[in-house]
Structure 1
Amino acid sequence: MVVEESMSWLQVVVLSLLQGLTEFLPVSSSGHLSIFSKIFFGHDAGASFTAVVQLGTEAAVVVYFAKDIYRIAMAWFRGIANADARGDEYRLGWMVIIGTIPIGIIGFLFKDVIRESARNLWITAIVLILFSFVFLAAERWGKQNRDVDPKTLKGMDMKTTLAMAFGQCLALIPGVSRSGATMSAGMFMNLSREAAARYSFLLAIPAVLASGLFSLPDVFDPQAGQSATGIQIVIGVAIAFAVGYASIAWLLRFVQNHSLAWFAGYRIILGLVVIGLLTAGVITPTLTSA
């Protein structure tokens, strides 16, 4: 795999803004970074840059949900020490931990495929379109009548956690969308959109933080994609944090009264545009063919 030149400051700023805007929307942030990198900058920045800049958006999740995270963590530690203190929040802590295991295993075993072979714009465009119909199916057949509090997630169970955990694994493919896959899985298990979105955020924290930290050395000396300097990474993470924080608040309000079909429509249009550009030879599908 060929490694391209260093990233420009314009590219870092644009992609970091894009990461913050799209990380929490069910439109695939990794797919957007790959597509926009090729269209506007002629290169794919690479999976390592994508993983590291996600640290900014995940920091936004940690700050936004700080009270929830603290409450769940304290309940988990109390429950570990005292069996009589094991309530809903203790169990929710275990659900997040166990729900992180599948993506950790699959991400580690297939890391080379994820970083190289899967970053093909034909795959991204087709997945953007096809997975949109999963959103529509979740809206159509998900009853959204489960007795799960959308604010505290009281009532969540392990079966729903595992369904959303394996949905999260699909997000390793650019074009799927982590939030879209996990929310759809939750809705198929009859969660409301708001409860599915909130749990999706919590479930993503350990996996994305681990992925970003694991990829940090590679972003300075990548095996594929472009390299970035330390200050570029710091600025990129800061931009993604600020924009991502605003995106979380917006999405949680939006899903209370609006269908995922809005995002499905956008994804289908974007996928068709990318297929058109690939067919016309305006952009190339992979890094090696650039």
Structure 2
Amino acid sequence: MDWLQVVVLALLQGLTEFLPVSSSAHLILVPALTGWPDQGLAFDVALHFGSLFAVLLYFRRDLIGMTASWGRSVATRQLDDNARLAWGVIFATIPVGLAGLAFKDQIELYLRSPFYLAMGLVFFGLLLGWADWRHRGDRSESQMTWKDVLIIGCAQALALIPGTSRAGITITAALFLGLNREAASRFSFLLSIPVILLACLLKTKDLIEEQVPVDWFAMGLGVLVSAVSAFLCIHYFLVFIKRIGMQPFVIYRILLGIALLAVFY
């Protein structure tokens, strides 16, 4: 890959991993429009590590507090807000892990097409718009119940469907449950940590088994650009979400779905 392809794909990964717009749709559309060759498994791993580093860095203080409280809760069985949030992230990750093990191959085989990507973008985009417009409330993430955690976790499993967007579906579910925009987004970002980590480990395993040659310059540049763009994305999304709401992302998803259909059909 040349440097332009590395930078563009890393920017896309960093931005779309945390915005409710579907990273898979972008990563299939851009190569089709540019004629670029497939970036390969090693580069995918690098981009995911960049995104993971960004979210860990941004939420480092929260994660330190959550980890300490979680450890105390294991020893004392007493839950404060941080411990409850840490357990919430763990429990909400279980459904997507089970669904991935059970259905990943079938989804890759039958649903990984531009048509289903476009349908997912439009349908789940409209669902996000409806949740933001009619159902959002004023609860924070510390006010979630275990039922809320379970519902958001099950919703996250739907992100295996192409075009859904992991961030988009978890924010949608949280808004339907009455969380405010900031709380829905923050919990979605925290939920991304174990999911991205698991994806990195699985892809690294595949990479080792395939013994793929590595372009270390592309890998290093990809990690850097993905990490910086993801960090800035998280920061500005949380800063401006009160002002902009979710509707601009709904409109963007619909336009992106139309663009996919126009390019491939």
- CA contact 1:219–1:228 (8 Å) conserved in 2: no
- CA contact 1:34–1:46 (8 Å) conserved in 2: no
Query: What residue identity is the alignment partner of 1:37?
Result: P
TM-aligned CA deviation for residue 110 of structure 1: 2.6
Separation in structure 2 between the aligned mates of residue 82 and residue 67 of structure 1, nearest angstrom: 22
Say which is worse superposed, 270-279 or 246-255, in terms of deviation: 270-279
- CA contact 2:50–2:224 (8 Å) conserved in 1: yes
- Cα distance 1:102–1:260, how it changes in 2: closer, same or farther (>3 A)? same
Partner of 1:134: 127
- CA contact 2:16–2:22 (8 Å) conserved in 1: yes
Partner of 2:59: 65
TM-aligned CA deviation for residue 234 of structure 1: 3.2
Partner of 1:162: 150
Partner of 2:264: 278
Partner of 1:213: 201
Query: What residue identity is the alignment partner of 1:169?
Result: A
Separation in structure 2 between the aligned mates of residue 39 and residue 217 of structure 1, nearest angstrom: 31
- For these two proteins, the number of residue pairs brought into alignment is 265
Separation in structure 2 between the aligned mates of residue 116 and residue 46 of structure 1, nearest angstrom: 19
Separation in structure 1 between the aligned mates of residue 53 and residue 68 of structure 2, nearest angstrom: 19
Percent sequence identity over aligned pairs: 38
- CA contact 1:26–1:263 (8 Å) conserved in 2: yes
Tell me, yes or no, if structure 1 residue 110 matches structure 2 residue 98.
Answer: no
- Cα distance 1:262–1:170, how it changes in 2: closer, same or farther (>3 A)? same
Query: What residue identity is the alignment partner of 1:16?
Result: A
Alignment of 1:77-116 (within 5 A): 77-83=71-77, 85-116=78-109
TM-aligned CA deviation for residue 266 of structure 1: 0.9
TM-aligned CA deviation for residue 252 of structure 1: 0.3
Q: Report the secondary structure of 2:179's partner residue.
A: coil
Partner of 2:27: 33
- CA contact 2:43–2:222 (8 Å) conserved in 1: no
Partner of 2:231: 245
Tell me, yes or no, if structure 1 residue 235 matches structure 2 residue 218.
Answer: no
- More helix by percentage: 2
TM-aligned CA deviation for residue 158 of structure 1: 1.3
Q: Report the secondary structure of 2:163's partner residue.
A: coil
Separation in structure 1 between the aligned mates of residue 249 and residue 47 of structure 2, nearest angstrom: 23
- CA contact 1:49–1:219 (8 Å) conserved in 2: no
TM-superposition CA deviations, 1:72-125 (whole Å, max 9, x none): 110010111123x42222121111111111111111223334445433111112
Tell me, yes or no, if structure 1 residue 76 matches structure 2 residue 64.
Answer: no
- Cα distance 1:13–1:154, how it changes in 2: closer, same or farther (>3 A)? same
Cα RMSD (Å) of the superposition?
2.4
Tell me, yes or no, if structure 1 residue 13 matches structure 2 residue 7.
Answer: yes
Query: What residue identity is the alignment partner of 1:106?
Result: A
TM-aligned CA deviation for residue 26 of structure 1: 0.8
Q: Report the secondary structure of 2:137's partner residue.
A: coil
Q: Report the secondary structure of 1:97's partner residue.
A: helix
- Cα distance 1:232–1:108, how it changes in 2: closer, same or farther (>3 A)? farther
TM-score, with length taken from structure 2: 0.90
TM-aligned CA deviation for residue 244 of structure 1: 0.5
**Equivalent residue in structure 1 for 2:241, among 227, 251, 255:** 255
Separation in structure 1 between the aligned mates of residue 97 and residue 74 of structure 2, nearest angstrom: 23
Tell me, yes or no, if structure 1 residue 190 matches structure 2 residue 178.
Answer: yes
Structure 1: 5+ residue stretches without partners: 1-6, 280-290
Separation in structure 2 between the aligned mates of residue 47 and residue 41 of structure 1, nearest angstrom: 18
TM-score, with length taken from structure 1: 0.83
